[in-house]
Homo-oligomer: A and B are copies of this chain.
Amino acid sequence: MVTRLALDTVIKQALEEDIRQGDITSDILIDESADATAHISAKEDFILAGSLVAARVFEIIDPDIRIRTFFNDGDSVRSGDTIITLDGGLRNILAGERVALNFLARLCGIATMTRRYVEAVKGSGVKIYDTRKTTPNLRYMEKEAVIAGGGYNHRFGLYDGILIKDNHVKYCGGVAKAVFEAKKHRMNYVKIEVEVKSLAQVREAITAGADIIMLDNMPPDTVKEALAIVGGKAVTEVSGGVTMENVADYAKRSPDFISVGALTHSARAVDISLLIE
Interface set of A (CB-CB < 8 Å, partner B): 1-6, 10-30, 34, 36, 38, 60-61, 90, 94-95, 97-99, 101-103, 105-106, 109, 127, 132-140, 143, 147, 152-168, 170-172, 178, 181-182, 185-191, 193, 211-212, 235, 237, 256-257, 261-262, 265-266, 268-269, 274-276
Contacts and interface: CB of A to CB of B under 8 A. Distances in A.
A25 B182 contact: yes
B187 A24 contact: yes
Contacts of A156: 20-21, 159
Contacts of A155: 189
A115 to B, nearest CB: 15
A182 B248 CA distance: 28
B262 A158 contact: no
Given A6-B16, A171-B34, A158 B98 contact: yes
Nearest to A101: B133
Nearest to A257: B188
Contacts of A94: 167-168
A190 B153 CA distance: 11
Contacts of A132: 18, 98, 102
A29 B178 contact: yes
A248 B161 CA distance: 32
Nearest to A63: B4
Contacts of A172: 29
A267 to B, nearest CB: 8
Contacts of A193: 189
24 contacts: A1-B21, A3-B19, A3-B21, A3-B22, A5-B16, A6-B20, A13-B137, A17-B136, A17-B137, A18-B158, A20-B160, A22-B140, A22-B158, A24-B160, A24-B187, A25-B161, A25-B162, A25-B168, A29-B181, A102-B265, A152-B188, A159-B160, A188-B237, A268-B268
A188 B4 CA distance: 26
Contacts of A18: 132, 139, 157-158
A27 B98 CA distance: 27
A85 to B, nearest CB: 15
- Candidate in A26, A155, A189, A257 with the most chain B CB atoms within 10 angstroms: A189
Contacts of A25: 158, 161-165, 168, 182
